[in-house]
């Protein structure tokens, strides 16, 4: 199973074999411990649940759930699979050796929170005229409705909280692996701040899930 949890370290660049500088995002990936294995017979679908990082003050429910795996994870995530690998059992570990340079992965993280933002920053609205009859506030929102139906439709793009959303970037290429230090370098940018949780899910081909 090619799936891991990790934390974002930051961006750097490496030199490829052809001498080009490649921008990569380094991720401290795994190892993760299998906390539960779900099957079609017992749960209705096949899935592997893994835990990552050292958690503190776990609730009694979570502590009882992970007791059989002998770990106290801070993060727990589940990955659906078509068929369960034989080597995957409760308590077994998965590390960066599950991946190889050149693999295609989907990366999920929570984007940086940017607080309250106006429509120009949040939705890339155009500003109004600053001269020749401008209203004095070039970033002010224009009309948000009409005479009928005398209400603002749901989903209207307006000012509000920006960022801190779950974002998935697809088809990133694994460009670097350091098995000794559990590091993976993905070509390009990865959503989220430093030390943010990152979920890696491998794809066998571009556009097709593993």
Kindly report the pTM of this predicted structure: 0.80
pLDDT of residue 70: 85
Q: Model confidence over 56-66: pLDDT tens digits? A: 888 899 889 88
- Name the E strands within the chain: 3-15, 21-29, 32-38, 47-54, 73-80, 93-94, 104-110, 113-117, 160-163, 166-178, 183-187, 197-205, 208-209
Residue 129: pLDDT band by 50, 70, 90 thresholds? confident
Give the start-to-end residue ranges of the domains of the chain: 3-114+161-209, 117-160
CA-wise closest residue to 2 among 95, 108, 107, 101: 95
Q: For tokens 């989907």, name the residue.
A: 106
The pLDDT of 5-14, averaged and rounded, is 93
Cβ-in-10-Å burial (0-12, 13-18, 19+) of 180 comes to: exposed
> What percent of the chain stands above pLDDT 70?
95
pLDDT of residue 203: 66
Of 3.40.605.10, 2.120.10.30, 2.40.30.10, 1.10.760.10, which CATH number belongs to 3-114+161-209? 2.40.30.10
């Amino acid at each position: 199973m090619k799936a891991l949890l990790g934390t974002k370290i930051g961006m750097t660049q490496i030199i490829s074999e052809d001498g080009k500088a490649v921008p990569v995002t380094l991720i401290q990936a795994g190892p993760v411990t299998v906390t539960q294995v779900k099957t079609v017979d017992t749960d209705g679908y096949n899935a592997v649940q893994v835990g990552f990082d050292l958690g503190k003050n776990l609730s009694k429910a979570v502590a009882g759930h992970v007791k059989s795996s002998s770990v106290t994870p801070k993060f727990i995530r589940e990955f659906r699979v078509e068929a369960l690998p034989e080597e995957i059992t409760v308590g077994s570990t998965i590390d960066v050796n599950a991946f190889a340079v050149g693999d295609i992965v989907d990366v999920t993280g929570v984007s940086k929170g940017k607080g309250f933002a106006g429509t120009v920053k949040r939705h890339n609205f155009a500003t109004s005229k600053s001269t020749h009859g401008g209203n004095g506030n070039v970033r002010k929102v224009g009309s948000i409705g009409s005479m009928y139906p005398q209400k603002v439709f749901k989903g209207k793009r307006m000012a509000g909280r920006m960022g801190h959303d779950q974002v998935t970037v697809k088809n990133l290429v694994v460009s670097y692996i350091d098995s000794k230090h559990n590091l993976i370098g993905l070509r390009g940018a990865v959503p989220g701040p430093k030390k943010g949780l990152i979920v890696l899910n491998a794809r066998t081909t571009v556009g097709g899930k593993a």
